[in-house]
Amino acid sequence: MDKYIVPTTWREIGVGINGNILQASMRYQAYIMNGFNGFDGEGQFGGSSGLRGGRQKAIESYISSPNFTGKVEYYGIRGLNIGLSGYFGRSQSQLYDGIEKDNSDAEAIADSSSVGISMIGLDARYQYHGFEMRGQYYYAAISNPDQYNAFTAAADGTPNDLGSEMSGFYAEAGYNVLRLFSNTNKKLVPFVRY
């Protein structure tokens, strides 16, 4: 999940706001930024690789349409943090560069090299007397996958295999066993993950 749906070490260029709403015990973040690189001469997404290949690497980034991401996190119950996040926009394509506004054929080709991405995530963490639990769930809806798959087909005509949906989750539980032996600030937390 953290590799193919929400790529780890993912960084983009954008502008945003973040802060706290102390009375509601909430934190928020909202950003407008460039999105995933969907096409730069070849397709960057696929069924087995998910969205990971579309990570732009900040200084090499380009933008053909802005994307929005945000998160709200509640921390009002001691030891519990719950977050809801979202990502919405279109993948970037270098085929949009230099298109004349009245060139509908070039725009249709560029549209085939891009997909819409709507992603929702839920995460939770809880700690209580040495017990630690955490989990995440992410769902991503992809629009225009059929046109994208045909446009980014292999040289032999084999179509790409990007799906219209992706989802993933994990749940993890552990216990700080050093709490059993001494009063220390150090931690040793064996855990299980599903």
Q: How is residue 87 written in tokens? A: 């990502």
CB atoms within 10 A of CB 179: 15
Q: What is the pLDDT of residue 194?
A: 94
Q: Whats the size of the chain, residue-wise?
A: 194
pLDDT surpassing 90 at residue 139? yes
The answer to whether 130 and 176 have CB atoms below 8 angstroms apart is yes
At 62 the pLDDT is 85
Task: Kindly provide the b/e burial profile for residues 153-165, where b requires at least 16 CB atoms within 10 angstroms of the residue's own CB.
Answer: eeeeeeebebeee
Q: What is the pLDDT of residues 1-33, one digit of tens each?
A: 676 677 777 778 899 999 999 999 999 999 999
Q: Confidence class of residue 149 from pLDDT cuts 50, 70 and 90? A: very high
Q: What is the pLDDT of residues 40-87, one digit of tens each?
A: 888 889 888 888 888 887 777 888 889 999 999 999 999 999 999 999
pLDDT digits (tens, 9 = 90+) for 94-122: 888 888 888 888 888 888 899 999 999 99
Cα 163–166–167 angle (5° rounding)?
165
Please check the confidence at residue 182 and state whether its pLDDT lies above 70.
Answer: yes
**92 compared with 60, residue with greater pLDDT:** 92
Q: Which of 127, 23, 136, 8 is nearest to 71 (CA)?
A: 136
Instruction: Enter the pTM of the model.
Output: 0.86
Tokens 């549209």 -> residue: 111
With a cut of 90, say whether residue 168 has pLDDT above it. yes
